[in-house]
Structure 1
């Protein structure tokens, strides 16, 4: 089953019900039920191997699943791949770059789902959106540079601009700040938050840094062994006693001790 491309007035959210998914016939995530409204940022937390990335891949329709995923009130077994790509965007952690594209060429890939045919050219509107997306992340002076010449933080901003150019309704972030300096982690998430709030986009992300989760999330779900064991605001989830049980360490006390060292 897949996220629908249709819109129904009055139901402005993503709903997931009784979702099961995994690999080779083994369920990694089990009985996932959640709802995310437009303009909300949801982060998924939990220890390694708990199913965070599997849940994102299910929502992105990269792996098969059982259950229902409804976007704006409609659930469909059939979708047009090209239209689906307009609605859902995935940004993952920085990996090795294997293609010698310029910043402009890389960001322009975000407009490909909107082209009318395989050999269609970018329209004036496409070009305008591409340049505006590059401007949003502060890389206009680098638009003709090869991305292989950029720093890790700059490359992630390029891929963020590509996501802006794609303009999806649902933004999926799979540990996008890994391997980035703290400054670039905050800048990247701040870009995403401002853009999502301004344009009423849904953001669902996986982060390991609970400080960033606390700062940027509207909602948080905590997974353990593939199931949701805690959900609510960041304050509710990160103050829940289950946090200590799931991570097998008193994270809250540890964070407070670190904070005291700054005073």
Structure 2
């Protein structure tokens, strides 16, 4: 289980996230929703231990503050919307980077088990057949699938997603979320996703955490959270009415 207890965090001594508590069980996913600036990405950085925070974040009974950076990298993977390419590695070599936290030393070579995990990660996202292609030659959708495979190859207990489907066409958005949901269920893992598109949240999320100004407004089963009166209060618009009206135009 992943459990957050009374988390406060932010930047320059100003708390963006204020007293947030929730938990996620294994095999489950939770979507974090709310308007821009409400603390969604900041919360993911705290779970990744990339920024300092007050409170406790417990993973399988261990406080992540007590874990070394290398050990944390074997347990938590963060996937963002960034598609910046610093080096033109092949797809295979990029995904292989996910195994480095598991290696015994700097000069250690990939084991047979490591290679199997990389192979399976590429198969899961449908990229094994083009594994030797340079990532600089890929479309945005393919590149995001490479980064997802790298996260799978990391063999973490938790995958954190910060708008991973941003700028992707609908097909790739649906595919990526499908891969993640299946990965969590099949491997008894945890997914925590920040998503703006509430249609995708309804489709993908089992549970939802709704934030406003850094505080929890509602948390629970996705359908119940998104059908609550809190939705209009948080976003300042009757989103459900807008969605229903738009859907009618497809008939």
TM-score relative to the length of structure 2: 0.98
Aligned ranges for residues 178-217 of structure 1 at < 5 Å? 178-217=166-205
Q: Deviations over 1:67-106 (max 9, x none)?
A: 0111112326432221110000011113221211000000
Contact 2:77/2:154 (<8 A) preserved: yes
Aligned partners of 2:146 and 2:248: how far apart in 1?
A: 37
Of residues 46, 54, 61, the one that matches 1:58 is: 46
1:31 maps onto 2:19 in alignment: yes
Measure, in 1, the Cα distance between the counterparts of 2:144 and 2:225. Answer: 29
CA contact (8 A) 1:94 1:178 kept: no
SS in 2 for 1:237: helix
Give 2:227's match in structure 1, choosing from 231, 239, 242.
239
Alignment partner, residue 156 of structure 2? 168
Q: From 70, 86, 93, give the equivalent of 2:74.
A: 86
Q: Work out whether residues 92 and 173 of structure 1, in 8 Å CA contact, stay in contact via their aligned partners in 2.
A: yes
Residue aligning to 2:90: 102
Runs of 4+ with >4 A deviation: none
Structure 2 residue runs without a partner (length 5+) = none
Measure the CA separation in 1 of the matches of 2:188 and 2:64: 23
Are the equivalent residues in 1 in contact too, given 2:98–2:150 (CA < 8 A)? yes
- Residue 238 of structure 2 corresponds to 250
Alignment of 1:61-140 (within 5 A): 61-75=49-63, 77-140=65-128
Is contact 2:83-2:143 (8 Å) kept?
no
Residues in 2 aligned to 1:194 and 1:167: alpha-carbon distance in whole angstroms: 14
Aligned to 1:260: 248
Partners in 2 of 1:104 and 1:179 — Cα distance? 24
Tell me if the contact between 2:83 and 2:140 (Cα under 8 Å) persists in the aligned partners: no
Query: Equivalents in 2 of 1:76, 1:49: separation in Å?
Result: 25
C-alpha separation between the residues in 1 aligned to 2:212 and 2:119? 42
1:47 and 2:35 matched = yes
**Contact 1:46–1:224 (CA under 8 A) maintained in structure 2:** yes
SS at match of 2:74: helix
What value does the CA root-mean-square deviation take over the aligned residues?
0.9
The CA deviation string for residues 30-89 of structure 1, in whole angstroms up to 9 with x for no partner, is 000101100110000000000000000000100000001111123264322211100000
